[in-house]
Amino acid sequence: MQNILLPILSVLLGYAIVLILKPSQNKNLKLLLAFSGAFLLSITVFNFLPEVYAQTNKSVGLFIMIGILMQIVLEFFSKGAEHGHVHLNKDATAFPWLLFISLSIHSILEGLPINNHSSLLLGIIIHKLPVAIILATFFIASKLPKAKIAFFLILFALMTPFGVLLSENSNFIQTYYYEISAIVIGIFLHISTTILFESNEDHKFNITKLITIVGAIAIAYFV
């Protein structure tokens, strides 16, 4: 049940933080984003990747590359929202369907392997929190109606649990679990490394950010 509830709560918590606290410190949000990127990358490398390689032949590398390419295509439509960037027209009032569809595909895919990885669940909910905060902040600052904002974020919250349920009830996913997992690994590798590269403003050394990243790696190692 936690595999269903926690991803939903992570997004709703991000939305609530924006509504109640109205965070204005961009620096703190970037630190949270850097932590989530480092944690997700570490969970993938320490736990998820070794298992998939142990159960498959070298063709797993091909599926990882497919996942990376798939995420690049998805980001063409989402404008980088998966890793904390939203490049949309703030004056738009229409529902952002392309953003929603691309984020939904991403979220469903990341939900497929959760049942077999408790640590991966933790990585995903930590990843979703800053993304939800950034999306909610952007939409509230835009001219999008409040009902559409709530509708978008609630549907977004439901997509990862939908992936969890899909993996439990689909024979196809169970048959090709490791190949699909390799695709998800590629997606995670692309997102997490992009977060780490983009969170470094002007490519300058930042001791606080470095400590945050090292701390995330250490925590992920012992999870």
pLDDT tens track of the chain, all 223 residues?
788 999 999 999 999 998 888 776 677 888 888 899 999 999 999 989 888 887 766 788 899 999 999 999 988 887 777 766 666 666 666 778 888 889 899 999 999 999 888 788 999 999 999 889 888 888 888 878 888 889 999 999 999 999 999 999 999 998 999 899 999 999 999 999 988 877 555 555 578 888 999 999 999 999 8
pLDDT at 105: 92
Cβ-based neighbours of 39, under 8 Å, separated by 6 or more: 122, 123, 126, 127, 216, 217, 219, 220
- Return the axis-axis angle of helices 2-21 and 146-169, rounded to nearest 10°: 160
Residue 95 per-residue DSSP state: -
| Alpha-carbon distance values, 88 to 118, 171, 190 (Å) | 34, 38, 21
Tokens of 178: 């490791």
Tokens of 91: 């004056």
pLDDT at 108: 94
pLDDT of res. 207: 86
pLDDT reported for residue 85: 66
Q: What is the pLDDT of residue 204?
A: 57
Query: CA distances (Å), 135 to each of 119, 138, 185, 221, in order?
Result: 25, 5, 24, 29
Looking up tokens 């990843």 gives 127
User: In whole angstroms, how far apart are CA 52 and each of 178, 185, 186?
Assistant: 6, 9, 12
Residue type, 29: L
User: How high is the pLDDT of residue 24?
Assistant: 65
- Whole-Å CA distances, 171 to 4, 63, 67, 163, 174: 20, 19, 21, 14, 5
The reported pLDDT for the residue numbered 203 is: 53
